[in-house]
Amino acid sequence: MRAHAARRPTADEHSDYQGRYVHGVPDGDVVETLIRQADGMRMALAAVTEAQAAARPAPEEWSGKQVLGHITEWERIFCFRALCFARGLPGELPGFDQVALVEAAGFDARSWASLVAEYAAVRAATIMLFDGLHPADWERAGIASGTRVTVRGLAYLAAGHELHHIESLRDVYHLVGGAV
Domain presence at residue 20: no
Q: Which neighbouring-strand residues pair with 143?
A: 148
CA distance 13 to 22: 10
pLDDT in tens, 123-150: 999 999 999 999 999 999 999 999 999 9
Alpha-helix runs per DSSP H in the chain: 3-6, 19-23, 30-46, 50-54, 64-86, 98-105, 112-132, 151-171
Q: What is the pLDDT of residue 179?
A: 59
DSSP annotation string for 101-142: HHHHHTGGGS-HHHHHHHHHHHHHHHHHHHHHS-GGGGG-EE
* Residue 52: exposure state from Cβ atoms within 10 A (0-12, 13-18, ≥19): middle
Give a yes or no: residue 13 inside a domain: no
Question: Does pTM surpass 0.85?
Answer: yes
- Domain containing residue 80: 27-171
pLDDT reported for residue 172: 79
* 60 located within any domain: yes
Q: Which pLDDT value is given to residue 69?
A: 97
Q: Are 21 and 35 in contact (CB under 8 A)?
A: no
Q: Specify if 84 maps to a domain.
A: yes
- What is the CATH classification number for the domain harbouring 82? 1.20.120.450
Instruction: Confirm whether 55 is domain-assigned.
Output: yes
Residue 2 lies in a domain: no
The answer as to whether 16 is a domain residue is no
Q: With respect to residue 82, please indicate whether it lies within any of the assigned structural domains.
A: yes
Domain count of the fold of the chain:
1
Give the helix/strand (H/E) hosting 150. Answer: strand 147-150
**What is the per-residue pLDDT for 136?**
97
Distance of alpha carbon 133 from alpha carbon 24, whole angstroms: 23
What is the separation, in whole angstroms, between the first and last Cα of the chain?
A: 22
The pLDDT score that the predictor gives to residue 47 is 87
Give me the residues of the chain with pLDDT under 50, please. none
Residue-wise pLDDT tens digits, 72-81: 999 999 999 9
